[in-house]
Amino acid sequence: MKNLVFCAFLAILIQGALPAQEFELGVFGGLTPHMGEPPMGSLSDSPNNTDTYLGHSRDIYGARLTWNSKGYYGVEGSYSIQHMGFLTNYATTLSDGTAFAAVLTDTVKVEQASMNFICYFMPRGERWRPFATAGLEGTEYNAPHFSEWPGGGSKELGLNFGAGVKLKLFKHALMRLDLRDSLTAKPYGQLQYSQDSLPPGGLMHIWEATVGFSATF
């Protein structure tokens, strides 16, 4: 994850060596108003394909570095953190033959780095700049913290796309609003699926609505 962030930001700095560059460096935060919740398998002795889910994140925040051309496009690297609810129905047989069942819950940290291309609908220098964006991302799902977990987190590749608008507040500051759809493969390959059926399909599908403030230079 750290290597992906470093490469994304290095690419933007290389772009900045070209003439007529403009950088934006800012922070953002927001909500996830919608999230697809595909079933992700089970930790139980007799796995059920729908035992485990990641739920809505409580927050999202991060930072972005953007290089803008003189015209209508830009390149942007982002890093964000979310905290998602984790729930699994766990059932096993103890060493003394007793059946044990419990609902295990936790909150897991999810880190994401992305590299996006931006297409603007107004030229640089305008007060309002609507834009569309799309790019690749890497997501690291940290491990839940309970003893029944077999260990380790999960790293997945995906993509995101969306749109937004930037508003110049004054010469070296702007505010931005973003709405994005983030898609990655289901995490946690440690989970098992029922042998009576194929693993269910589905992607992690997260809508992100954020507001940010950036310095321009």
Pair 131, 163: CB distance under 8 Å? yes
Q: Give the residue among 217, 209, 213 at the shortest CA–CA distance from 30.
A: 209
Cα separation, 132 vs 38, in Å, equals 27
Let me know how many helices (H) and strands (E) the chain has, helices first.
1, 8
Distance (Å, whole) CA 55 – CA 84? 6
Q: Which domain holds residue 75?
A: 2-216
Q: What is the CATH number of the domain that holds 138?
A: 2.40.160.20
Exposure string over 66-84, b if 16+ CB within 10 A, otherwise e: bbbbeeeebbbbbbbebeb
Q: Contact 94/100 with Cβ under 8 angstroms?
A: yes
pTM assigned to the model: 0.85
Strand 128-141 to 173-185 pairing = unpaired
Q: What number of other Cβ atoms are within 10 A of residue 125's Cβ?
A: 9
Q: What is the pLDDT along the chain (217 residues), one digit of tens a residue?
A: 655 555 555 555 555 444 445 899 999 999 987 777 788 899 999 998 889 988 877 789 999 999 999 999 999 999 999 999 999 999 999 989 899 999 999 999 999 999 999 999 999 989 999 999 999 999 999 999 999 999 999 999 999 999 999 999 999 999 999 999 999 988 999 999 888 766 777 788 889 999 999 999 9
Residues 18 and 202 sit within 8 Å (Cβ to Cβ): no
Domain count, the chain: 1
Cβ-contact 72, 119 below 8 angstroms: yes
Determine the pLDDT at residue 59.
86
pLDDT for 17:
47
Give dist(CA 146, CA 3) in Å, integer. Answer: 29
